A and B are shown apart, each in its own frame.
Chain A
Amino acid sequence: MAQRDVKNRIGSVQNIRKITRAMEMVSAARLRKAEERAASLRPYADALRKMTRQAAQAAGSGELQAQPVLQTHEQEQTVGLLLVTADRGLAGAFNSQILRAGLQRAAELEADGKSVRWYATGRRGLSSLTFRNYEVAASYTGFTDAPNATHAHEIAEELVGAFVDQQIDRVEIIFNHYVSPLVQEVSRQTLLPLSKAEVEVEGDPAADAAPEATAGPKALVEYEPDPAEILAQLVPEFVEVSLLRALLESAASEHGARMTAMRSASDNAGEVIDNLTLAMNRARQAEITQEIMEVVAGAEALN
């Protein structure tokens, strides 16, 4: 390769490294924000659980169990699969591993004689599914790097509606579970029917054991509307919370995955530059040697 060509290539690899470095830093900053957002969901979910317990107690026994989103459908024919992917690529295996897990799960379900209804968040998941000629029942795009409650609300209502109307008998969500900035694990979770564990207060035995026994006389609690109705509205909120948690974790994972991918891209670019520089030096040396040989040969010819 001529010296000039190698020089050009070094230049373009250096430019690429600048871009990947910048992307790495952007992802690192966004990752921190996404982590914070994921953490701030917890107090909300805990408070929601406590309110639900209060409403469930007031509504009377059996009310909570009777909530439609907690019901297992007797016959599971159609399973909704929600793939949580990113809007953009350049994040290593982030999107492809979700898709792979989704297709594998679909094959399992179909082997069991069930049919699959696809849902997707993120442009990557949607385009991969449509490219493979799967029909996507609903898709949600444009927010995957910073999802908020409104997005989760929209998705949850669609899924809860379809579930309660018996169009789907079960909903599973496949997303990248956030372990650390470097590690994301593909995780599959059943979103509907909602597990009772999600609704119940965790590790709070003192509160569970006869709360009426504490303190003296208690004022009567007002309910607007009545407890059963509040309960009916509170319980589906947990679907939203689970969903939002998955979306937020996926967003944090996305930034982590992109950060890692961009870091290795930058490292790789450095290696490529080193190799090319070596090649360029060799080419230059070869050229000089060639010239010297020509001069010497010319001088010898004169003698």
Chain B
Amino acid sequence: MEDSSPPLIRSAALAALLAALLALPLLGVRLVDSANGLSLSGRPELVAWAAGGVFCGRLIIDLFRRWIRDFSIRLPVPPPPPEWTRFGVGWALALFALVLPFLPFADRNLVDKATMVLIYIMLGWGLNIVVGLAGLLDLGFVAFYAVGAYSYALLSMTFGLSFWVCLPLAGLFAAAFGLALGFPVLRLRGDYLAIVTLGFGEIIRIVLQNWQDLTGGPIGISGIERPSLFGLSFKAVPPEGQTGFAEFFGLNYSADHRVIFLYFLILALALATNLFTLRIRRLPVGRAWEALREDEIACRSLGINPTTIKLSAFALGAMFAGFAGSFFATRQGFISPESFTFIESAMILAIVVLGGMGSQIGIVLAALLLVGLPEWFRDLQMYRMLAFGAAMVLIMLWKPSGLLSSRSPTIRLGGRA
């Protein structure tokens, strides 16, 4: 170890020098408004702190890396976990989600946050079809979420249709928009596709913002109808001709009922999305998506028409975003273009990528990490984005291909598929 320490010190010193150079203009000087006009004052102590911090940080990282390296040489590589563990984790999570609202520590606040996380899990699972399975980088996924939300809001406000009628319609509309986006981008891949989808997302948002007559523009749509359970209303005073949920079951009215109902609604929608994805992965379309991600030219040489395969991925992914969107609208009771900005797309994509492209449980973990944790640490408001960014960088350093990146085959010779 003795002989290799000089490079350690040297690399740390180099990093410190670089930090000092960068910090000099950024931190080292300051404009001061004094009696005789503006003047510059130096702040050498800040530069020294920055350089010192970087020096120590670099040293610690290097030592840590070396330690990891030595450590991993001594340790045998752990065998990959057997398949049933992942299966078991999935069931355990689903079971936990089912009983969550009835646990003693679950208050209204917690269920509300869990609902939020579930929306993102569902969006992540929807985008996973497009990005994780079909390998089409989509930066405008939020557009379909918006289409779903506005579809429900407008259909319900204009025609008085109920949530349950609008839900499939919203999915269909979103899928139609998915096709509309899919057609012009069929030839594009990778970076180019990402740019076009990014533009598409912005177009939808800007249209929503400016088409005042239809969408209400930046003011949005408020007073959106809340969903009912087979005609049982969750309002304190049920509308004429409807029975209240509490009344029907002989309970005392509580606003919590609706919160819990919404939670179960999104849980059901999300689980349906998951089931669909798990199932379609084992069907010809799903396998063709993955094959397309791996090699489009080989796909074409095998008689697979990339057009239909890509379009089906876009449409189905968009459909689930549409479902999630109409749920979002009915939960909030109010929507505006504010809720469908690019940062939402980026968030959903981050969930899919951090989860490990194609892994369903990985997406759950990533959504908990990216949406759940910041919700719980709202008190640290100022540092939230900093921690968010740091967490992303750390995950990418530690697990460059996502939290759970191993893929299990969709079919096995002789064995269970």
A binds B: no
Residue positions of A touching B, CB distance < 8 A: none
